[in-house]
Amino acid sequence: MNTRFFLLAAAAAFATASCSQEKKTETTETTTVPGGEATTTTTTTVDTTAYRTSADALVNQVTTDLKTSDEAVKTRLQNAYYNRARTLRNLEAMPDTTGRYAAIKAVNDQTTSEVKAIVDPAQYKTYTASQGTYYSGPYTAAIAAAAASTAAKPSLGARVGQGSGIKKLENTDDDRKVKYNNGAKIKRSDDGSIKIKRADGTKVKIDEHGNRTVKKGLF
């Protein structure tokens, strides 16, 4: 079956998890009154124990790792994990292995997005670093890696100046220039273009459209 169909089905199941019906157990009891007709009573019990138990266990683990005792956070996490457990249960019947894998991944990623809206940035960073502990199925780990990569990247000025310090600043209505002690320069224009002269003489020009031109120094 089509993998895209399974992804859409998983998304729909997750979105409606709080409204859909649970697995139910029906108990039928027949009572006969002497001299009268038999009366049949059917009792329907909603089975949520497995979902709640799974959600509670995961909440306890996550809140311990995130070092939070906020009851509001716990409640919201419990709802997120409860809906996840229900949706994953519905995916167990999928006959297509590839489609099921993609659908489970989509559910786990959706849960991670919900967690991001519940906890603070520092806690979310801790959470994404331990996703393999919380999820038994596939998930996307690139989100946390990309954020870490972006945070570690030094600024343009830091790369060009190479820690030599700023020698001179020149600001006009149209241009902003920075000269560094190592001989490097950066000029930014109001149209968004940038001209860079590195300490080794290499010149780099980036126009307003992001096109880059590099001219190596003679020495």
Residues 106-129: tens digit of each pLDDT:
888 899 999 999 999 999 989 988
Q: Kindly tell me if the per-residue pLDDT of 67 is higher than 90.
A: yes
Provide the pLDDT for residue 35: 55
Q: How confident is the model at residue 88 (pLDDT cuts 50, 70, 90)?
A: confident
175-180 vs 212-215, strand pairing mode: unpaired
Domain boundaries, the chain: 3-152, 156-215
At residue 209, what is the residue type? H
User: Architecture of domain 156-215 in CATH?
Assistant: 2-Layer Sandwich (3.30)
pLDDT at 72: 93
| Bridge partner list, 180 | 166
Residue-wise pLDDT for 125-146, tens only, equals 899 888 888 887 787 774 544 4
3-state secondary structure of 167: strand
Could you read off the pLDDT of 29-40 as tens digits, one per residue? 555 555 555 555
The whole-angstrom separation of Cα 137 and Cα 145 is: 19
* Mean pLDDT over the full length of the chain: 75
Count CA atoms within 13 Å of residue 17 on its CB side: 24
Weakest mean pLDDT among 62-71, 95-104, 185-194: 95-104
Q: What is the pLDDT of residue 151?
A: 52
pLDDT score, position 66: 93
User: Where do the DSSP E strands lie in 36-101?
Assistant: 38-47
pLDDT at position 4 is 52
Res 41 pLDDT > 90: no
Range with lowest mean pLDDT among 8-22, 70-84, 199-213: 8-22
Taking the model in full, what pTM does it have? 0.48
